[in-house]
Amino acid sequence: MTALSASHSGASILSRRNGFAGALSDSFWRHPKLLLLLMLTPPLLWLGIIYVGSLIALLMQSFFAIDDFSGVISYEPTLATYAQLLNGANLDIILRTVLMAALVTIASALLAFPIAYYAARYAKGRWKAFFYLGVMLPLWSSYLVKVYAWKLILAKEGIVTWLFAKLNLTFVLDAILSLPVIGGNSLSVSYLGTFLVFVYIWLPYMILPTQAALERVPGNLIEASADLGATPAQTFRTMLLPLALPGIVAGSIFTFSLTLGDYIIPQIIGSSRLFIGQAVYAQQGTAGNVPLAAAFSVVPIVIMGLYLTAAKRLGAFDAL
């Protein structure tokens, strides 16, 4: 026995392979690090150099400022651009976007929970597949087509107005539209419209992780809770919600982040007041103030950084 293992430790039992491919294969086996390095180099070059490189180059620009008189960027490190970011109008844009993102996230969570709960606990077999595809298809179908569909729906001559008229409820719609901040001429030019479209577009991103978290709750646990005398409301509050929370938080990462950076929805459906994405777009394009655009794009990065740190503490990444 000892002699056998001793003879093994000296040389391999198999002879070396012939040819270039064989030798290459052997050397990969002997040096797993080499293979790993070869596998990682192309993606790291692409993502690490091209992508992260351009990100850093962009963020650096936020520490430069544009000269007020000549309109030329002066390449001296300064915090003037950040001071500009925090003045009244720009701060308004940031607050407006964050508030919208928060409201959209809450509304999506409320809408997503019953769908996710039903799909996770009651849908079986064919119905389960039906629910899964029912969420996946809207999630993956064209973003612009979905926005376009809502432009059709919310237009003044569109289906919503028609529906309210058919139900003799036009006065309700008019009352909603005459509300001070969220109203407007028609739904398609109001904050309410923007909000509706945001919720619609990002809702599937909330349903899927919530459902994944709820799938892991055994049905017997809910019954056990009922057997022990808990009312449905108590079961929900003390058991179901805490167990589903990581999934909801994971979903909220998507809804929050996507709303923060979107510039197309508020441009097509909504009032003329800007969101962060639109401000970035306008600053780098027509205004030509790249430093301010860069500073604006730092805002979502910082907010998402804080958000992700908090989410990690709540265990959201295990639910993805």
Partner 1 sequence: MRSDRGQRSPILLKLFAAGGLLFLHLPILLIFVYAFTTEEKSFQWPPPGLTTRWFAVAWNRPDVWSAMALSVQVACIATAIALVLGTLCAAAVSQTKFFGREVISLLVILPIALPGIITGIALRSAFSLFDIPFSVWTIVLGHATFCVVVVYNNAVARFRRTSGSLIEASMDLGADGFQTFRHVILPNIGTALLAGGMLAFALSFDEVIVTTFTGGQQATLPIWMLEELIRPRQRPVTNVVAMVVVLVTFLPILAAYYLTRDGDQIAGSGK
Q: Per-residue DSSP letters for 224-268?
A: HHHHTT--HHHHIIIIIHHHHHHHHHHHHHHHHHHHHH--SHHHH
312 binds partner 1 (CB under 8 A): no
Stretch binding partner 1 (CB under 8 A), from 71-79, 110-118, 177-185, 242-250: 110-118
Site for partner 1, residues 292 to 311, rule: CB under 8 A: 293-294, 297, 300-301, 304, 308
**Orientation angle between helical segments 19-30 and 32-43, nearest 10 degrees:** 100
Stretch binding partner 1 (CB under 8 A), from 2-10, 72-80, 82-90, 273-281: 273-281
Q: What are phi and psi of 75, to 5 degrees?
A: -90, 60
Cβ atoms 302, 308 nearer than 8 A: no
Site for partner 1, residues 193 to 252, rule: CB under 8 A: 200, 203-204, 207, 218-220, 223
Stretch binding partner 1 (CB under 8 A), from 3-11, 172-180, 237-245, 257-265: 257-265
**Cβ closer to partner 1: 84 or 186?**
186
175 binds partner 1 (CB under 8 A): no
96 binds partner 1 (CB under 8 A): no
- The CA distance from 21 to 14, in Å, is 16
Out of 7, 8, 12, 22, the residue judged to bind partner 1 by CB under 8 A: 22
Q: Where does the chain have alpha helices with state H?
A: 2-10, 19-30, 32-43, 52-61, 80-85, 88-121, 126-140, 143-154, 159-166, 170-177, 191-215, 219-227, 232-235, 241-261, 265-268, 276-284, 290-313
Q: How many residues bind partner 1 (CB under 8 A)?
A: 97
**Cβ closer to partner 1: 181 or 313?**
313
Closest approach, Cβ 223 to partner 1, in A, equals 6
**Cβ closer to partner 1: 108 or 191?**
108
Residue 205 Cα distances to 63, 137, 212, 252, 255, angstroms = 35, 12, 12, 8, 7
**Orientation angle between helical segments 276-284 and 241-261, nearest 10 degrees:** 30
Q: What are phi and psi of 122, to 5 degrees?
A: -110, -30
**Cβ closer to partner 1: 2 or 130?**
130
**Cβ closer to partner 1: 107 or 191?**
107
286 binds partner 1 (CB under 8 A): no
Out of 109, 147, 250, 295, the residue judged to bind partner 1 by CB under 8 A: 147
Stretch binding partner 1 (CB under 8 A), from 17-25, 71-79, 174-182, 244-252: 17-25
Out of 73, 102, 103, 155, the residue judged to bind partner 1 by CB under 8 A: 155
Cβ atoms 228, 309 nearer than 8 A: no
280 binds partner 1 (CB under 8 A): yes
Closest approach, Cβ 41 to partner 1, in A, equals 9
Out of 7, 12, 34, 39, the residue judged to bind partner 1 by CB under 8 A: 39
Amino acid at 320: L
